[in-house]
Structure 1
Amino acid sequence: MQFASAAAEGRYAALVRAAADSVIGLDFDGTLAPIVDDPERAHIHPDAADVLVALAGQVRAVAVVTGRPARQALDLGGLEELADAVHAAGKDLYVFGQYGNERWSSAQRRIVSPRPPAGLASFERELPQVLRAADAADAWVEAKGLAVAVHTRRLADPEAAFQRLEGPVGDLARAHHLVVEPGRSVLEVRSPGMHKGQAVDALVSELGAGGFLYAGDDLGDVEAFEAVATHGQTGLATLLVAVSSSEQQALVERADVVVAGPDEVLDLLRELTADAAARRA
């Protein structure tokens, strides 16, 4: 593991000391699951379940915080089966879907979700015209219930299409009092006011966390990083892990540790598990 600074190495050591009271927050796509051209075919890394069950034995709780609908993350990640193993060890697994708008846990096996935002249906009806005008009519539009995502990854030139769409999609979203969350070859339109940082705040408050590690790879994780850093200023042991890619570098300068993908995320979590267990031995 390579730390961004000596201070970051010190934060890791503090997190190891606070491991038993710590929460581990993980994005799904790009962090636990490799990025693929078809998001519906994304699956959690094959080693993730074993790593997370072992980690859960050393920490307060594990949480998946994703822009995906909670049900989709549960299915693609096999997270309900994983939750059985975590819960059997006396620990909890949480899933926060759609940037925290949806919530599921191993203790309460149901998804708690608000109503879709006003204006989303109208936005979706008007979107095809915007796509045609931007020469991106074949972009994949994913209806997520509480949000609409426009994916350009399947197009011939994903980056050029993304750039053509960012302005017009943003204008249409604002006309319906919605916000746009740009990501890796995707523009997600949803209601304002809810973001991953609020999921972090909820976990810290409700669980009385003494530490928090958060790992993510995209712009949607910025608020989570900011929330963790804010709690760190009040004494919480923290570690911020950025998954770097050629598409997105927004988190790298904020991170204590930079890794290259899900393989290295899991290596880091294995190391944390081993160090925490050794300290308790």
Structure 2
Amino acid sequence: MTPTRSLRGLLASAAILTDFDGTLAPIVADPAAAVPGPGAVEVLLALAEVAPVVGVISGRPVEVLVRHLSDERLHLAGLYGLERREHGEVADAPGSLRWLGPVAGAAADLTARLPDGVTVEPKRLSLTVHFRRRPEVGPAVAALADEIASAHGLMVRPARRSIEVHPPQTPDKGVVVEDLALRCSAACFLGDDVGDIPAFDALDRLARQGVLTVRVAVESDESTPELLDRADVVVPGSSGAVAWLRSLLAP
């Protein structure tokens, strides 16, 4: 039996978890313009009628996710878990608010020193430096982000044509996956980027505990090879992700 069919048979006790950008929403040049692809919201809500846990785990702030995914049945985790919405209530991770000042300082320093065409996306408790419009300066931007992050006591993580700057000991997507899949007999995660690898790691840990797991990689011309290599299922782009989610509802 294929992983998809096995998960379909356990849908009533499953956690259906997914990334946002590049997975539910096609990648666009301006991150602020990203919106869920056709049918993405509808299939999540249909799954929420059957599965006990349906959630989106993203590097975006929760407020951005809520704008597109307002239904309170959906579990939302923003900033890799620094912000969470559960049953309509939004909360910050314990101890995270003390990093508001350092993150704001790093955003100001980066904005003053980054080359033209590279932008800073402030996210309150973290920030993202986007170099999609100028990929040739990626290595220099990464070095500068690391320098400024260190000066403010922050950390960096690579992402698709961007660099994330965040507080130390920030949760990763794997932490959120394990939390949301607690007491579920099956779990899946759909992702497209290096930041989704910890979610696959979490599924591996859950599998060792007897949970049926499915790792779904969303392929594009920017896909991370490790993510594709580790996937149980590979789908083409955000439209493929939506189609795969819809297949879980097939009789």
Please confirm whether the aligned pair reaches a TM-score higher than 0.5, indicating the same fold: yes
Unpaired runs of at least 5, structure 1:
1-8, 85-91
Aligned match of 2:220: 245
1:52/1:121 Cα in 2 relative to 1: closer, same or farther (>3 Å)?
A: closer
> Highest CA radius of gyration, 1 or 2?
1
2:173 counterpart (184, 193, 196): 196
Give the 5 Å matches for 1:116-155: 117=99, 119-131=102-114, 136-153=115-132, 155=133
Post-superposition shift, 1:73? 1.4
Please give the alpha-carbon distance, in whole angstroms, between the structure 1 residues aligned to 2:230 and 2:168. 24
* Residue 217, structure 1, aligned to residue 211, structure 2: no
User: Aligned AA for 2:64?
Assistant: Q
User: Aligned AA for 1:273?
Assistant: L
* Residue 69, structure 1, aligned to residue 61, structure 2: yes
Q: Contact 1:116/1:146 (CA < 8 Å) preserved in 2?
A: no
What SS does structure 2 have at the residue aligned with 1:251? helix
Give the 5 Å matches for 1:151-166: 151-153=130-132, 155=133, 158-166=134-142
* Residue 101, structure 1, aligned to residue 82, structure 2: yes
Aligned match of 1:231: 206
Moved more, 115-124 or 30-39: 115-124
1:103/1:261 Cα in 2 relative to 1: closer, same or farther (>3 Å)?
A: same
Aligned match of 2:14: 22
Write out per-residue CA displacement over residues 138-192 of structure 1, whole angstroms, 9 at most, x where no aligned residue. Answer: 3111110011111112x3xx22121221122112212322111211111110012
Please give the alpha-carbon distance, in whole angstroms, between the structure 2 residues aligned to 1:199 and 1:62. 12
Q: Contact 2:103/2:124 (CA < 8 Å) preserved in 1?
A: no
Post-superposition shift, 1:48? 1.4
Q: Contact 1:130/1:169 (CA < 8 Å) preserved in 2?
A: no
Post-superposition shift, 1:195? 0.9
Please give the alpha-carbon distance, in whole angstroms, between the structure 2 residues aligned to 1:145 and 1:137. 23
User: Aligned AA for 1:258?
Assistant: V
User: Aligned AA for 2:105?
Assistant: S
Please give the alpha-carbon distance, in whole angstroms, between the structure 2 residues aligned to 1:230 and 1:123. 35
User: Aligned AA for 1:169?
Assistant: A
Write out per-residue CA displacement over residues 203-229 of structure 1, whole angstroms, 9 at most, x where no aligned residue. Answer: 122xx1111110011111111111111
Please give the alpha-carbon distance, in whole angstroms, between the structure 1 residues aligned to 2:50 and 2:59. 27
Q: Contact 2:25/2:34 (CA < 8 Å) preserved in 1?
A: yes
Please give the alpha-carbon distance, in whole angstroms, between the structure 2 residues aligned to 1:179 and 1:122. 14
What SS does structure 2 have at the residue aligned with 1:273? coil
| TM-score, normalisation: structure 1 | 0.82
Post-superposition shift, 1:116? 5.1
Write out per-residue CA displacement over residues 21-46 of structure 1, whole angstroms, 9 at most, x where no aligned residue. Answer: 10111111011111111111111113
Post-superposition shift, 1:129? 4.6
1:71/1:116 Cα in 2 relative to 1: closer, same or farther (>3 Å)?
A: farther
- When the two chains are superposed, the root-mean-square deviation of aligned CA atoms in Å is 1.7
1:259/1:204 Cα in 2 relative to 1: closer, same or farther (>3 Å)?
A: same
Aligned match of 1:3: none
Please give the alpha-carbon distance, in whole angstroms, between the structure 2 residues aligned to 1:179 and 1:123. 11
User: Aligned AA for 2:23?
Assistant: T
What SS does structure 2 have at the residue aligned with 1:215? strand
Moved more, 26-35 or 245-254: 245-254
Unpaired runs of at least 5, structure 2:
none
Q: Contact 1:12/1:238 (CA < 8 Å) preserved in 2?
A: no
Q: Contact 2:58/2:78 (CA < 8 Å) preserved in 1?
A: yes
What SS does structure 2 have at the residue aligned with 1:119? helix
| TM-score, normalisation: structure 2 | 0.91
Aligned match of 1:34: 26
Q: Contact 1:181/1:219 (CA < 8 Å) preserved in 2?
A: no
Please give the alpha-carbon distance, in whole angstroms, between the structure 1 residues aligned to 2:78 and 2:3. 28
